[in-house]
Amino acid sequence: MSYLKRIIYNCKKATLLIEKKAMSKITVREYIELSIHLIGCRFCRIYKKQSAVINEMVRQLFNDAMKPGARLDENFKRELQGRIEEELNK
């Protein structure tokens, strides 16, 4: 398979580069290869968009989970603070 054909066909590598580029640096060569690939590959163009949105949604999910509010039941909390007081008095 020719060099160019390998770039055009290899979606596995292209999607790995998409992930790497989103978080870190890729080499100039990798950048060029990825750009060439994306021009010809609709699948990977969709992947790239969705990948960024998924990051955002996962982050949102974690943020929402950290909003203030009671999660533990009161009995557990009372006992836990009791344990702490016990340790403090040792």
Partner 1 sequence: MEHKLNPHQWVAAHADYLYGFAIMRINDEEQARDLVQDTFLAALQKVDGFAGKSSERTWLTAILKNKIIDVYRKKSSGLRTTDVKESEEEQADFFDSNDGHWIHNNGPREFGIEDKDQLVSREFEAILKKCMQKLPVLWMSVFTMKHIDEEPTETICAELKVTPANFWVIIHRAKVNLRACLQKNWI
Smallest CA-to-CA distance from 65 within 57, 73, 75 is with 57
Instruction: Reduce the secondary structure of 24-58 to three states and give it as a string.
Output: CCCCHHHHHHHHHHHHHCHHHHHHHHHHHHHHHHH
Residue 3: CB minimum distance to partner 1, A: 13
66 touches partner 1 by CB under 8 A: yes
18: its two tokens: 């998409």
Question: Which x/- pattern, by CB under 8 A, does the window 11-50 give for partner 1?
Answer: xxx-xx--xx--xx------------------xx-xx-xx
59 binds partner 1 (CB under 8 A): yes
* DSSP one-letter code for 66: T
CB of 28 to partner 1, least distance (A): 18
Alpha carbon 36 to its chain's center = 24
Binding site for partner 1 (CB under 8 A): 1, 6, 9-13, 15-16, 19-20, 23-24, 43-44, 46-47, 49-62, 65-66, 68-72, 76-77, 80-81, 83-85, 87-88
